[in-house]
Amino acid sequence: MSEAEILVERHGRAGILTLNRPKALNALTPGMVASLRAALEDWRDDEAVTRVILRAAGDKAFCAGGDIRQVYEQGKAGDPKQAEFFADEYRLNIAIKRYPKPIVSLIDGIVMGGGVGISAHGSHRVGSERTTFAMPETGIGFFPDVGGSYLLPRMPDETGMMLALSAGRLKQADALWTGVLTHAVNAADLEALQATLCEADDIDAALAEAAGRCDPGPAPLAARAARISEIFSATSVAAILAGLEAEAATAGENGEWAGKVLGAISSKSPTSLEISFEQLRRGGALEFEDCMTMEFRIVSRILKGHDFYEGVRALIVDKDNQPVWQPSRLADVARDDVLAHFEAPEGGDLEIR
């Protein structure tokens, strides 16, 4: 008998949900999404459960996203139910954002894509020195979904736009500074912290005590915030790239940094870059549910395009790391094609329930 992909337990006042696919870096499957949603619904009105703890088995990854390869194979096979996983996943993200009880995510290791969606929208996000946050979607011809359109524009000084376009990563200190994490703790304290959280009268006090024993150090992004804000507040992707090119031509650390970010963005799908830019600019003014409706519109369209399948082929299937984007130049991405991703899909908008 195979082991459950989600372990559902009760300890003290807490409901505990454990992602249990450590060999697959706890990547989300449709069954895991359904199990998480069901447990949250069961505990919503259960007076004995006053808080939820979300954790993961293993120490390499909290959750490395959704099972993108399965989505790729569904698309190649013409499966009409391909978008259903995203609809269910987005509804789970909304349920977590709306949840009336504290949800404490203990994020230890890699968290990206779908893992961000199930952790970053809860009330308390706790990360260790092993935490690495990433939204790598533009590198596979996709876009930063699972609430990225809400989360990323609300990061300080346009750091969210930089992360979205460059598929950048955040370690503990930067994740705390940008607001992805509410608390930084030592990995060695996580087990004891979980036990304390199951019984504590004051969750915030328990978390503050654990955080007081951790020194994440200065956030590297904070030191460069002014330049990031100036460059990434531009009105187009092309203008952002021009700003990075100008900065990269200067001497010193800022020039070196700009060159690396420029190189990272330039390797991404031009179509994904334009979609993601539009997505974040719109998302900054939208409520969470409206962001998720927008993201379902985008995913419904992007799954019918070329670059997602080419990106997955190059980075995950064949692993040649040589995607051939269509179009290959930013200047050749048609504005009308970008805007089409923000129109209601043929099957209708996301049903929020």
**Would you call 259 a catalytic residue per the annotation?**
no
Helix, strand, or coil (residue 182) = coil
**What are φ and ψ of residue 19, in 5° steps?**
-70, 125
β-sheet bridge partners, residue 14: 11, 51
Instruction: Give the residue from 126, 135, 115, 139 showing the smallest Cα distance to 53.
Output: 126
Hunting for tokens 């992602």 — which residue is that?
19
**Would you call 66 a catalytic residue per the annotation?**
yes
CB 225 within 8 A of CB 156: yes
**Would you call 147 a catalytic residue per the annotation?**
no
The pairing of strands 103-107 and 124-127 is parallel
**Would you call 114 a catalytic residue per the annotation?**
yes
Which entry of 145, 247, 274, 278 is annotated as an active-site residue?
145
Which entry of 5, 67, 89, 137 is annotated as an active-site residue?
137
β-sheet bridge partners, residue 15: 10, 52
CB 158 within 8 A of CB 178: no
CB 51 within 8 A of CB 101: yes
Which entry of 114, 122, 127, 243 is annotated as an active-site residue?
114
Which entry of 5, 15, 65, 66 is annotated as an active-site residue?
66
Mind telling me the catalytic residues? 66, 114, 137, 145
